[in-house]
Structure 1
Amino acid sequence: MRIRSGLWRVAELPTTKAGVERAFSYFTAGVRLGTVAQMVPAVQLGAARAPHEGAYLACWGAAALASTVVSVVVLVRRRPLGTLASALDFALACTLLVLGPLVLAPWDRFGTWTAFQPGYALCVIITAGGVRGLGLWAASLLAVSLSYVVYLGGDVGVDMASTAVGNVLTYVVYALVARMFFGYTRRIAHDADASRARAAELARREEERRAQVMMHNGVAVMRLLTEQGDDVSRARLVGQAEVELRRMRSYLRGGEVYAADVAGPSVGLTALVRRVCDRFADLNVTASLDLGAGLRIPTAQAEALERAFESVLLNVRAHARAHEVVVHLDGDGSGDGGGSGVAGSGACSGGWTLTVHDDGVGFDPASATAGVGLREVVVGELRRRGLMVGIESAVGEGTTVTVHSRPGPEAGTTGPAGPAGPTVRAAFADAS
C-alpha cells in the first residue's frame, strides 16, 4: 500500500531535474493509457464495420500494445522516451495513418473513435514533446502531418475540408504547446538545481567562516600556551583557554552559546569590556569605562564584540610588544541622557564608541595583510552585527582600533551593515 500510494504522489516529487523527468513519465503514461481507454469502447463496432476485420484488429492491437509498452517503459525509466524509441513511436503512428484507408470505411474516418488512428497520432505528438532532439521532433511532426493527408486520401468532400485542415492544425498547435511545456518545465528544474547548488556552496562557505571565527581565538591561545614562558604567564592564559574551550565545544555541538553565563535579550557593555580586560591583565590594560555606565547591547552583538575584543588583545600580546593598552568606552549622550539605559530594557537607545590603543611597534598599513582575526573575527563579525570598525596604525606609534555602534534602533541590528559599514583604514598582523 505504501509503494502504491508513494508512486502517485506527484505533488511530493522533488523539484529537481530527476523529479521533473519522473513527472513527465507520469504525464506520458497518463496520456497514452487515456487514449487506449478512449479506443476500447469503439473497437467492436469498428471491427464490425471495417472492410478487413482482421487488419483493423491488428492495427488496433498494435496501437494499444504500443501505448501500454510506452507507459510501462517511461514509468520504469522515470523519464520520457529516448531518441530511438521516440522515432519508432512516430513511425508506428505514421504507419497506422497510412494504413487507415485500407481498414476503415470512408464515412468512419471523421469524428468517431472507430477511426482511432488520428487520435493515436495526436497522443504520440503530445507525449513526444519531451524528445531532446529538435530535429527529430520537427521531422516527425511533418511526417505525421503528411501521413494524415494520405489517411484522408481523395475521399474528403468539400464540406469536410475545413475539418481536415483543422485536424492538421491541431497536430501542429498541440505539438508546439507540448514542446514549450516540456522545455520550460525542464528549465525551471535546471534553475532550481542551480539555485540549490549555489545555496549549498554559500552554506559551506558560511560554515567555514563560522568555524574560523569560533576557532581563531582558541588556536591563538593554544599557540601562546605552547610557546616558551614562565609559569605566571601560562597561568594567565588558563582562564582564557577555558573560555575558548567552552566556545569550541558549543560550536561542535551545533550551537553558539555566549561565553558569559547571561540571560535575557541584552548584556551590560561595561561588564563585558571589564571582563575581557581582566583576562589580559598581563598587558597592563588601563580601562576607562565610566562614560559607558549603564549601556546595554543585544546578546548576539555582545558575543561578537567580546570575540573581536579578545582577538585584538591577542594580537597585542603576540605581536605588538606594547608597554600599555588603553581601553576607553564612551556613550554619545543621545537617547536616555548619555546612553544610561535601564538594565534589562534591551539595547541602549544611544550610540557608543569603544577604543583600544596600544603603544606597541605598530605596522605599515601599505605592506600589512589582513588575516582571519582582522578580516572575520573583528571586521566581518562586527559588521554582520551592525557595528562599524576603524583601524589605524603606524610603525613605531602603536595601533588604535575603534568600534562604533549605530545610535537608535540600528544599535540592535543583527544583519550585515550597509555600504556605510566598517571603515578599515589599515590592516595589522593577524595572530593566526
Structure 2
Amino acid sequence: MNGVDPVMARAEDVWYRSYPFWDAYFALVLVGTIAATAADGLPPGRQAAAILLLVLLSLAYVRVGRKALRSREERRPGCKVYAAALVLMFVPATVLAPVTSMGLAALAPQVYMVYGTARGFVLMMVLFSGAIGSAMVASGAGVTLTLMMMLVGIVCSGLLATFIGRLSAQNRERARLIEELDRTRGELAELSREAGVLAERERLARDIHDTIAQGFTSIVMLAQAAEAEVGPNRHLDLVARTARENLAETRGLVAALAPPALAEGSLAEALRRLAADFALPVDLDVEGEQRPLGPAAEVVLLRVAQESLANVRKHAGARSVWMSLEFAADAARLTIADDGRGFDPAAVASGFGLRGMRGRVEQAGGDLAVRSGAGEGAVVEVVLPCSA
C-alpha cells in the first residue's frame, strides 16, 4: 500500500477522493476561459458581460454545484438549481463571446457526473447550442457546416457520457462490494469469536470431566473400598460424602459449559433442531428409551453430528441424509448416512474432519467407524458407552 492506511482506503473510494482534483480542474479551465475572453478583443460591453456570467457561474458551482457533485444520494441536492444556472449563465456567455465555449471542457464531465447519461446528454445539447449558434453567426456558416458541427458535438458528448457513465457504475459497484465485504468480514469475525468461545467452553468441560470429575469418582470408590475393609468409619464416610458433593458440583460445571444446543433440551431435541436447520432433507430416527447420557457423551455425539453434516454439505453432493440415535442398555449409537458421491475413507484419513471426530470419540471411550465407496454414499457410526 506504500503508506496508504487500509482503513482509510476502505472508508473512501478513489472516485470520492478525486473530487478536489475536479475542483482544481474546473478552476483552471474557468480561469483560462476568462483570460481568453479578456484577450479576445470583443467590444467592452459584451466582453464584460461574458466575464461576469462566468464569474457568476463559478459562484454557483461553489455554492451549489460542488455539493451536488459530491452527493451520494439518488436525488442530489441542488441539481435543478445548478442546471438552471448552467443554462442561464453559460449559454448567454457563449453567445456574447464564442471563445467562452472552451469552458465546456470542464463542464462536460461535471454535467455527466451530476446528472447521469440521459439527462446529462440533454443538458449538454442545450449548453452546446449557444456555442454552435454564435459560431454560425460569426462565420456565416451554412446548413451543412452547422449540421456537421452539431454532429461532432453530439458524438463527442455521447462518447464522454458513455465513459463517465461506466466509471460511475463501476464506482457504485465497487462501493457496494466494499460495504458487503466489510459486513461479511464483521459477521465472520463474530462467528469466529463465538466458535472460539464455544470451543474453549467445550475444552474446559472435557478437561474438567476427564480430570477433576474422574478424580472425585475415584476418591468415592477408594473411600468405599477402605470402609468395606475396616468397617464403618466416620472419617471415611466424611471423605466419601465430601467427594460426592464436589463431584455433583463438578458435573454441574460441565453441564453449564456444554453447547447451547444441549442446554435447551435433550440430545435428541438438539439433533432434531440440527436436522431441521440443515440445507438438505434429514430423516431422524430415535430408538430405545431416551435418557441422559452425561454431558461429555452428549457433547461428543452432537459434535460428530455437526461435523458429519458439514462434510455432507461441503463434499458429498448428496440429495438427502438419514440420521439415527439409538439408546441401548449400556451404550448409545449415532449413525449418519447420506446418498452422495462417496469417498475412500483410507485415502482421506486426515481429511473431512475424520481425524478430529475419531480423536474426540476415542477420548470419550467410544468407537467411530466410517463406511463409504465411490458412488455409494457414506455412513458414519459412533458407539459410546453410557458411562462416558
Which TM-score band (shorter chain)? 0.5 to 0.7
1:189 Cα offset (Å) = 2.0
Give the one of 196, 203, 206 matched to 2:182. Answer: 196
Q: What do the CA deviations read for 1:61-96 (whole angstroms, capped 9, x no partner)?
A: 233344455686589x78589623222222222223
Q: Which residue number in structure 2 is paired with residue 85 of structure 1?
A: 78
Q: Which residue number in structure 1 is paired with residue 350 of structure 2?
A: 412
Matching residue's letter, 1:200: G
In the alignment, the residues of structure 1 paired with residue 304 and residue 68 of structure 2 have an alpha-carbon distance, to the nearest angstrom, of 57
8 A contact 1:392–1:399 mirrored in 2: yes
Secondary structure of the 1:164 match is helix
Root-mean-square deviation (Å): 5.5
8 A contact 1:99–1:151 mirrored in 2: no
Given the alignment of the two structures, is residue 146 of structure 1 paired with residue 126 of structure 2, yes or no? yes
- Which sits farther off after the overlay, 420-429 or 159-168? 420-429
Secondary structure of the 2:166 match is helix
- Mark the CA change 1:423 to 1:69 in structure 2 (over 3 Å): closer, same or farther: same
Matching residue's letter, 1:14: A
Give the one of 146, 152, 173 matched to 2:159. Answer: 173
In the alignment, the residues of structure 1 paired with residue 50 and residue 380 of structure 2 have an alpha-carbon distance, to the nearest angstrom, of 84
Which structure is higher in helix share?
Answer: 2
Q: Which residue number in structure 2 is paired with residue 126 of structure 1?
A: 112
Segments of structure 1 that go 5 or more residues without pairing to the other structure are 109-113, 132-136, 249-306, 317-362
1:122 Cα offset (Å) = 0.8
Count of residue correspondences: 289
1:233 Cα offset (Å) = 4.7
Secondary structure of the 1:412 match is coil
Q: Which residue number in structure 1 is paired with residue 20 of structure 2?
A: 29
Q: Which residue number in structure 2 is paired with residue 259 of structure 1?
A: none
Q: Which structure is richer in relative contact order (CA contacts within 8 A, separation 6 or more)?
A: 1
Secondary structure of the 1:149 match is helix
Secondary structure of the 2:101 match is coil
In the alignment, the residues of structure 2 paired with residue 87 and residue 102 of structure 1 have an alpha-carbon distance, to the nearest angstrom, of 23
Matching residue's letter, 2:126: L
- Mark the CA change 1:102 to 1:393 in structure 2 (over 3 Å): closer, same or farther: closer
Q: Which residue number in structure 1 is paired with residue 358 of structure 2?
A: none
Q: Normalized against structure 1, the TM-score is what? A: 0.49
In the alignment, the residues of structure 1 paired with residue 188 and residue 292 of structure 2 have an alpha-carbon distance, to the nearest angstrom, of 25
Q: What do the CA deviations read for 1:5-57 (whole angstroms, capped 9, x no partner)?
A: 99xx6987433xx523xx43333332342132134345334124334121121
Segments of structure 2 that go 5 or more residues without pairing to the other structure are 221-239, 268-285, 313-322, 337-343, 356-371
- Mark the CA change 1:211 to 1:55 in structure 2 (over 3 Å): closer, same or farther: same
Q: Which residue number in structure 1 is paired with residue 369 of structure 2?
A: none
Q: What do the CA deviations read for 1:99-141 (whole angstroms, capped 9, x no partner)?
A: 0354215xx4xxxxx4334334313223315x6xxxxx63453
Q: Which residue number in structure 1 is paired with residue 47 of structure 2?
A: 53
In the alignment, the residues of structure 1 paired with residue 292 and residue 159 of structure 2 have an alpha-carbon distance, to the nearest angstrom, of 64
8 A contact 2:50–2:97 mirrored in 1: yes
- Mark the CA change 1:398 to 1:10 in structure 2 (over 3 Å): closer, same or farther: closer
Q: What do the CA deviations read for 1:157-179 (whole angstroms, capped 9, x no partner)?
A: 43353233211232233223322
Q: Which residue number in structure 1 is paired with residue 326 of structure 2?
A: 393
1:58 Cα offset (Å) = 0.7
In the alignment, the residues of structure 2 paired with residue 96 and residue 170 of structure 1 have an alpha-carbon distance, to the nearest angstrom, of 22
Give the one of 282, 291, 299 matched to 1:373. Answer: 299
Q: How does 1:7-406 map to 2 (within 5 A)?
A: 13-15=8-10, 19-20=12-13, 23-49=14-40, 50-51=42-43, 52-68=46-62, 73=67, 83-105=76-98, 108=99, 114-128=100-114, 138-153=118-133, 154-155=136-137, 156-157=141-142, 158-159=144-145, 161-216=147-202, 218=204, 230-233=241-244, 364=287, 373-374=299-300, 376-380=302-306, 393-396=326-329, 398-400=331-333
Q: Normalized against structure 2, the TM-score is what? A: 0.54
In the alignment, the residues of structure 1 paired with residue 122 and residue 335 of structure 2 have an alpha-carbon distance, to the nearest angstrom, of 75
Secondary structure of the 1:423 match is strand
8 A contact 1:24–1:80 mirrored in 2: no
